[in-house]
Amino acid sequence: MAADVKIELDVSDFLRTIDKTLPAFLKASDKAEDEIADEVLRLSGHEVPKDEGVLEGTGVADRDGQGAFVGYNTPYAARLHEHPEYAFQKGRKGKYLEDPIKENLKPLGEHYVSTVQEALK
């Protein structure tokens, strides 16, 4: 027969701490996301296909209700991104957003962590 076990936890200190820490965490998280989006835009700018510069000129790093985002806004932006086999000039290429993220995932992640940790000190 199983014994009845009653465990009581006092979480009042934790709740007081989280009430103070959560706003700082959210602010730091947003800041880190914005900085990472800016860096991805900068890095992708070296790879985005460029003939006349129209596509490159539409690059944006911004924030919406779901967080920070990076994108290019032309009718052909996604097509060029998804077709790395196209012959682009001057070292430009497809996957111009995806590759810089993959190639820099570790430092981008480290930046996020360090930004949040600094805010929570």
User: pLDDT, tens digit, for every residue of 92-121?
Assistant: 999 999 999 999 999 999 999 999 999 988
Mean residue pLDDT across the chain: 94
Output 73 or 4, whichever has higher pLDDT: 73
CA distance 44 to 56: 9
Q: Would you state the pLDDT for residue 70?
A: 98
Q: Would you state the pLDDT for residue 34?
A: 98
Overall average pLDDT of the 39-66 stretch: 96
- Bridge partners for 62 per DSSP: 69
- pLDDT-based confidence at 1, cuts 50/70/90? low
- pLDDT-based confidence at 76, cuts 50/70/90? very high
Range of lowest pLDDT (69-73, 84-88, 99-103): 84-88
Terminal CA-CA length for the chain: 48
**Does pLDDT of 71 surpass 90?**
yes
- What's the number of CA atoms in the CB half-sphere (13 Å) around residue 20? 7
